Amino acid sequence: MPVAHLEDRAVIAVTGPEARGFLQGLITNDVERLAPGQGVYAALLTPQGKILFDFFLVEGDAAILIDCLAAMRDALLKRLSMYKLRAKVTLEPRDQLAVLAEWGGGHAKYTIAYPDPRIPALGTRAVVAKGEMHTGLEPAAIYHAHRLALGVPEATDFGSDKMFALDADLDELHAVDFKKGCYIGQELTARMKHRGTARKRLLAVAGTALPGPDTFVRAGDKDIGEITATYGDKGFALIRLDRLEEAQGAPVNAGSSRVELWKPGWLFP
């Protein structure tokens, strides 16, 4: 029952009478799904439909709390503030709060906790006061090893303003609601979904000597994509699925290294 302190995450609080409506008009998922013990995974896109930030939303501490990548917190705050205009909302960092992840069948009780909305195997996420954290927590690296073993990408794997939401598998990870109203980047995202034009997908990649990001991936003599992130012997690659199918099982290489591409069970089940 590992419990990890995700020290690479930060928390932003959105408060005020118009907090829900403000977020609803911006992000890819339905804020109305928020409920006690129920969080939401979502993204903020460019008008052209590319991911700027991905994050989790949960209610607690008298606010809607945004669990985001710490390295991108200030940029996310700045972007949200740009859209605020006259909305009756307040945006502020909550540095006194920390993010935990728990998996493997454990169910420790936290005041602000919810099942990870992406896939059940990721377990539970929680937002807690740093002063109330118990000792013996695992580091974020343990959580990320678990995530990588499941082939689940996050912000560090698809970057900012580089990849369309569907290419990054966000629809399969329950971050996009195709029935809600308008949000930034909605038109192109919906068009890709309904026309079936999302030919690229982030796939998990494994190998003993994985090259760095932007290395081309080839199947036989076909260029089929490129590496987007690597962590030791695991990582992710953005792959053209039609070209991978055309390669008909040919050996796959990234640079001079033989690699293995695999489709996690949650992707197109």
Provide the whole-model pTM.
Answer: 0.94
Last residue of one domain, picked from the residues 134, 158, 182 = 158
Check pLDDT > 90 for residue 269: no
What range does the domain containing 220 cover? 199-262
What are the tens digits of pLDDT across the range 48-93? Answer: 999 999 999 999 989 999 999 999 999 999 999 999 988 999 999 9
* Average confidence score pLDDT of the chain: 94
Domain-embedded: residue 164: no
Q: Who contacts 77 (Cβ-Cβ below 8 Å, separation ≥6)?
A: 12, 91, 93
d(CA 151, CA 178): 24
Check pLDDT > 80 for residue 198: no
Lowest mean pLDDT of 30-39, 107-116, 182-191, name the range. 107-116
Domain-embedded: residue 33: yes
d(CA 119, CA 174): 9
Provide the pLDDT for residue 119.
97
The CATH number that applies at residue 30 is 3.30.1360.120
Give me the percent of the chain exceeding a pLDDT of 70: 98
**Same structural domain for residues 135 and 27?**
yes
**Same structural domain for residues 151 and 206?**
no
Count the domains in the chain: 2
What are the tens digits of pLDDT across the range 211-255? Answer: 999 999 999 888 999 999 999 999 999 999 999 888 888 999 998
**Same structural domain for residues 154 and 35?**
yes
Domain-embedded: residue 224: yes
Considering only the C-alpha atoms of the chain, give the largest distance between any 2 of them, rounded to a whole number of Å: 58
**Same structural domain for residues 148 and 220?**
no
